[in-house]
Each structure stands twice: as C-alpha cells, then as structure tokens.
A and B are shown apart, each in its own frame.
Chain A
C-alpha cells in the first residue's frame, strides 16, 4: 500500500544522507569557526522549510538568523545558507549572487544543479524536487514529495556538526531551549543572554 511505499522510500532517501557526512562535517566546522570569530549565519528559504527548522526552533541553535527578518546587509565572512527544493530558481540565484558579492560564504541545501554549483559548499538533496516519488494508475503526475523532509534532515545534520565543531574547540553554542519543557523559559533566557553577549 502507498502508506508504506512512501514511508519506506523516504526512509531510504534520508538514510543515504549519511554519504555526505564529510561535506556536512566540513561545513559545520566552517560555520562554527566563522561564528566564533564574529560572523553571522543567515538562513534563507523561500519555501520556508529549513528556515522554520533552523531558526528559533526548540532544541536548535540560536546562531541561525532569518535573512528576511534580519533586514541587514551581509558582511564579508558571514555565512549564507540557502534552502531550496528547486535547482535553478531565478530569485534564489539572485540571492546567492548578492550574498557572494557581499563576501559571504555560501551554503546551498537542495537538489543538484545550477544553485548547488554556485555554492562554496552544497549539501545535496537527491530526492525528486518537483513531482514526488509515488505513482498511481489513472494519474499522470507523480506525487508524495520527500525533498522537503530531506532538506530538513540535512539542515539538522548541519546543525549537529556545527555543535560538534564548537565542542571540539571547547565552546558550547547557545541552545534554543523549547519553552514548553520544564524550566525551558529560564534556560532559554539564560542562553539568550549568552548569545547576545557573544553572537553564538
């Protein structure tokens, strides 16, 4: 049945992300190094998938900024993480070009293609970006996308290796404690003060 077909396919696609561990680790190290040197880390995703997963998410990191909300121009040395489910969107390409012109380090999380080739580091989502993975007799188009969940998994892997890099340098980045957990609000406030004092 399609329930298990879909879940098993998604499982396999997500499992294969482990093949990119080297790239993820390298990218996480770069982010940690730059953040600890005062650079900012911006996240942009016009489909909002990795934006909502990385920025202000419980049990995530405070160092990820939403590019839209921030409103600031990027500076040389900043990190710009673009999430995309398309491979060559014109608007995304303009954003990457602007970020590059500002001297930012570009990370793209998305399918292989033009946008990935513009990045300093690409975390590649091999899922079909447009039409999903399921077919049904009587329907011409595929449906049941996995690109979004795969992008999200890549984003969290990147957060994980960023934390790993910080810990290796004997630092701990500020954690975005979920306020719904016991003492979450108190811990969130403590971490927020820490974050505001040093930027990560």
Chain B
C-alpha cells in the first residue's frame, strides 16, 4: 500500500493486496487499470467536488430532437401499420381502446383536450373483445387480451422492459416485457433512465423525455388513423 500511496497519480505500481487505509488509497489502487479516464475519475473522486455543467438546456433539446428523428426514421412505418389495424377494426364495427399512463400523458391525451381527435375509448381495456384494438403503454394491464384475440399495440416506456432495454439495466424489475403481450410495439427510443443529460457529479442522467415522446407517438398514430379513415368517408370530431 505504501507504494501505492507514495506513487504519483498515473504511475502507481502493482503491489500485493493489502488492507486499505482509506477510500483515497483504494481509489489510487484501482486507477492503475491504466486508462487515462480512470485517472481523471480518481482525481474527481478524491477531490470530492461537483463540476459546473453548462448548456444543460441545449443538451436536453438536442437529445430530444435526436430521439424524435430516430422515431421518424425507425417507427413511422410501424405507426402507419398500427393505424391500418385500427381502421380495419373500425370498418368491421369493432372498438378502439387506449390506456396511456405516466407523466403528462393522461392529461395530454384527454378526449376533451383542444386539438385531440375523439377516436379512442379511454375505458377499462379489459372490456375489449375479439378483433378490438388496444393501444397502451401499460403491458401489465393488457395481459390476457391476446388470448381473447384483441389486437394490442404497445408504445414502449423506459421503466418497463422491452427489447431495446440494455441487458442487465432493469433485471431487478423481473422478466416481463411489453413484447410479451403485444402484436406490435412502437418504440419511443427513450433510454431506460428516462433522463437524457449526463451532469457531472450526478450518477444518473437527468431531465426526462418519456412523456413527450409517448405523447408525440400517440398523436401521430391518431393523425394517421384520421387520415386513413377519411379515405372511407369517416371523420372524427376534434375537441375545441
């Protein structure tokens, strides 16, 4: 340990494992892993200061815009497909249900919210029956619907496992995934942390995007349903 304690940062020599006298000594020891970044982290830890972070708002906006671009590029076709399912169901006299929870969603998607189309029943989705369509970000609430031949369209959210969740990130949340109960998943491309801006000194990315992204996907799905329905002379009322 003395060799570690007396060595300069970045030149710590290998030595026998000894009892650590302090957290500082332990950090000096492991920084011998020899990555330059490890040495810098050791410096920040030993100094125990929080660094000033600038332009957090612009970093948030830039990341949000990038995520929107990802959805445009990778999910537009699926949103269009999902809208097709919904329109076919309506033409067959079936019903469209929706259950979207979390953050701003219940308020933003209200049927009475100005500008919203009155398409979905925001009712108990377990009332859905064969060939009805359900749109939801609550896969637990959708269990059993597939067995009744209800078509379930999922919109992913960060706190529930989906195939985009990094391995191990949410292991403590079990193994249930949104894909287990849905026919199609529209991915929101929101990281599992929800927060998207790394701030120096804080160990979780901050400032969430999930409410915004899920609302955008739902509104675009509604718009697509309206567009396809118009081809059959079906027009939905708009809240004002």
Q: Which residues of chain A from 15 to 44 have a CB within 8 Å of any chain B CB?
A: 15, 17-18, 21, 24-25, 28
Q: Which residues of B contact A143 (CB under 8 A)?
A: 115-117, 222-223, 226, 238
Residues in A neighbouring B69, C-beta threshold 8 A: 11
Find the B residue at minimum CB distance from A160: B56
Given A139-B235, A142-B115, A160-B56: A148 and B104 interface contact (C-beta under 8 Å): yes
Judging by beta carbons under 8 Å apart, are B104 and A18 in contact? no
* Given contact pairs A144-B223, A181-B193, A132 touches B115 in the complex (Cβ within 8 A): yes
Are A144 and B51 interface neighbours, CB within 8 A? no
Docked CA distance A108–B17 (Å): 59
Q: Tell me whether B227 and A148 are in contact (CB under 8 A).
A: no
Within 8 A of B (CB), among A134-182: 134, 136-139, 141-149, 152-153, 156-161, 163-164, 167-168, 170, 172, 175, 177-178, 180-182
Contact status A131-B240, CB under 8 Å: yes
Q: What are the residues of chain B within 8 A of A28 when measuring CB–CB?
A: 57
Contact stretch, chosen from B25-33, B38-46, B148-156, B208-216:
B208-216
Docked CA distance A21–B59 (Å): 11
A180 and B50 contact, CB distance less than 8 A: no
Q: Is the CB of B108 within 8 A of A148?
A: yes
Residues of B within 8 A of A24 (CB): 57
If A2-B227, A24-B57 touch, whether A175 touches B206 (CB-CB below 8 Å) is: yes
Inter-chain contact A145/B219, CB cutoff 8 Å:
yes
Whether A59 and B193, one on each chain, are in contact in the complex, defined by CB atoms closer than 8 angstroms, is yes
B11 at the interface (CB under 8 A from A): no
User: CB-CB contacts of B117-138 with A at 8 A, as 1s and 0s?
Assistant: 1000000000000000000000
CB of B49 to closest CB in A, whole Å? 8
Contact A130 B172 (CB under 8 A): no
* In the assembled complex, A57 has its CB within 8 A of some CB on chain B: yes
Q: Inside 8 A of B107's CB, which chain A residues have their CB?
A: 47-49, 52, 148
Residue contacts A-B, CB under 8 angstroms, 7 given: A4-B76, A7-B76, A8-B72, A47-B107, A57-B208, A149-B216, A160-B59
Interface set of A (CB-CB < 8 Å, partner B):
1-8, 10-11, 14-15, 17-18, 21, 24-25, 28, 47-50, 52-53, 57-60, 85, 128-132, 134, 136-139, 141-149, 152-153, 156-161, 163-164, 167-168, 170, 172, 175, 177-178, 180-182, 187
Q: Which 6 A-B pairs have the closest CB atoms?
A: A59-B195, A145-B115, A132-B115, A160-B56, A157-B57, A48-B107
